[in-house]
Structure 1
Amino acid sequence: MEKVRLLVVDDDPPIADLVATVARYEGWEAVTANSGEEALRLAAEFHPDIVVLDLMLPDLDGFGVLDRLRRSGAMVPVVFLTARDGVADRVAGLTRGGDDYLVKPFAVEELMARLRTVLRRSAGPGFQRSVLRVGDLTMDEDTREVRRGERLLTLTPTEYEVLRYLMRKSPTVLTKAQILDHVWEYGFGGRSNVVELVVSRLRRKLDESDDAGAPLIHTVRGFGYVIRQAAE
């Protein structure tokens, strides 16, 4: 499948880089721009499938960028990401050709979910559902539904993120430190016991049914955890 091409436009480089990094982790191609003129140049060169666009830029504002994109014939979907939360701005963003409007501060997971939804609506290359599979375990990253066979699992947000990381990296063995860094990001240094607790809860939920298959999460002594159909 062709990779989704994302253009992130924000005058705050750390925010633009964060969104681009998460998108690349999702398997997308991503470039960033920190001004309106730079965004228009990259749009012409990169031909993005979708754009994340801030309103407050140092030269041309987001509405101006969108107007010029549309006048050039570019019908690329645009999701506004801005600190301007007034009703008038929201209405203007959507009526002038934007596809969605998200206000800062924001959760990156919500932004990615909105981008996938917009792509599906516009029938871009990223419209296919993103489903992870390991054995009879499936995870729909769009709906966030997790099933073991036909059984729907109820997971906490942290359990979901740990399981998703294990499934994305399967059959790679992940250390507790890697899981901590990826899921909690910071502030939990040395607290590997929290990983053990979450993995223990996940094991119970995955294997609690009488008709559940063989255990999927395995401990590799001295290394960490791996999710796969059977222990080697």
Structure 2
Amino acid sequence: MSQILIIEDEDRIASFITKGLKAAGFTSTHEATGSAGYERAMTGDFELIVLDLGLPDMDGMDVLERLRGSGNDLPVIVLTARTTLEASVGSLEGGADDYLAKPFRFEELLARIRLRLRSPVTPAVGPVALTCADVSLDPLTRRVTVAGAEVDLSAREFALAEALMSHAGRALSREQLLSRVWGYDFDPGSNVVDVYVRYLRGKLGAGRIETVRGVGYRMVA
């Protein structure tokens, strides 16, 4: 089981990442300052670092510079609210392996983590096409068909359909769907999931997505 070090000063974001990693089979440790994160990273207990740049005691770029200067070659994914080209290029040139701007979707962060942890000799495997009864979804071509007829979905509808079809037959709570489709930056009291499920039912067919009372929704397998 891979150990991930999260260096992030916002507890809400760190908690969001920690819960997502646990659900994906990873273990993680959280440090809220650059100095503490650097000391943890140098213990040799971790396989990858998720690093925020806006830390309270020192800039994340300084942490990265110290790590690389000390010979630490752990994969580092920079996660930051800095969205300028200079920030992304500076991070990569400074030794980061990847860069992801906030707000973000956890699935994208997870995909980048898995990519960086993958053995170099392991061939890359693309997303697998999903099928539930007569509904098919291809993540590569972004095509969805129902009984052989192509259906046009918005980006959000597609992400919601992908989340439900990836767990066909299993009930997903509204909170899980919010996390997977809308990322951490959402209002937990919002009814956006219900609204988009209604949109999706209108395009895929009402009987294909079941309401699980007191839980959320389930794609009929």
Say whether 1:36 aligns with 2:31: no
**What is the CA–CA distance in structure 2 between the aligned matches of 1:78 and 1:150, rounded to whole Å?**
43
- State which of 186, 197, 202 in structure 1 corresponds to 2:189: 186
- 1:60–1:100 CA distance, 2 compared to 1 (3 A): same
Deviation of the 1:35 alpha carbon? 0.9
CA distance in 1, matches of 2:130, 2:157: 16
In structure 2, the partner of 1:108 is 104
- What pairs up with 1:166-177 in 2 under 5 angstroms? 166-173=164-171
**Could you tell me which residue of structure 1 aligns to residue 51 of structure 2?**
53
**2:5–2:50 contact (8 Å) kept in structure 1:** yes
Deviation at 1:226, TM superposition (A): 3.4
How high is the TM-score relative to the length of structure 2? 0.67
Displacement after TM superposition at 1:64 (Å): 2.4
Residue by residue, what CA displacement relative to the aligned partner does 1:169-204 show, whole Å, maximum 9, x if unpaired?
A: 322245xxx347733743229x95663343232338
The structure showing larger relative contact order (alpha-carbon pairs under 8 Å, at least 6 residues apart) is 2
Work out whether residues 99 and 118 of structure 1, in 8 Å CA contact, stay in contact via their aligned partners in 2.
no
Asked if structure 2 preserves the Cα contact closer than 8 Å seen for 1:19 and 1:108, the reply is no
Distance 2:171 2:28 in 1: 28
Q: Is the 8 A contact 2:21 2:110 kept in 1?
A: no
Assess, with a 3 A threshold, how the Cα gap between structure 1 residues 96 and 188 changes in structure 2: closer, same or farther: same
Q: TM-score, normalised by structure 1?
A: 0.64
Identity %: 24
Report matched runs for 1:71-82 at 5 Å. Answer: 71-82=69-80
Using the alignment, how far apart are the partners of 1:222 and 1:115 within structure 2? 30
Deviations 1:201-230 (A, max 9, x none): 2338xxxxxxxxxx8x2547978753344x
Count of residue pairs the alignment pairs up? 206
Q: 5+ unaligned residues in a row in structure 1: which ranges?
A: 205-214
Residue of structure 2 in register with 1:198 after alignment: 200
Q: Radius of gyration: which is bigger?
A: 1
CA separation of 1:144 and 1:16: change in aligned 2, threshold 3 A: farther
Cα distance in 1 for residues equivalent to 2:130 and 2:90: 41
Unaligned runs of 5+ residues in structure 2 are 183-187
1:133 to 130, 135, 138: 130
SS at 1:67 equivalent: helix
Taking a change above 3 Å as real, the CA distance of residues 170 and 221 of structure 1, as seen in their structure-2 partners, is closer
Distance 2:71 2:57 in 1: 22
Say whether the 8 Å CA contact 2:3–2:26 is kept in structure 1. yes
Relative to structure 1, is the Cα distance of residues 202 and 92 closer, same or farther in structure 2, using a 3 angstrom cutoff?
same
Contact 1:132 1:139 in 2 (8 A): yes
From 17, 22, 26, the equivalent of 2:15 is 17
Alpha-carbon RMSD: 4.0
Partner of 2:218: 226
Q: For residue 16 of structure 1, report the CA deviation from its aligned partner.
A: 1.9
Which residue pairs with 1:163 in the alignment? 161
Cα distance in 1 for partners of 2:54, 2:69 equals 20
Aligned to 2:185: none
Secondary structure, counterpart of 1:108 in structure 2: coil
Report the Cα offset of residue 97 of structure 1: 0.7
C-alpha distance in 2 between matches for 1:69 and 1:91? 18
For 2:83 and 2:4, how far apart are their aligned partners in 1? 23
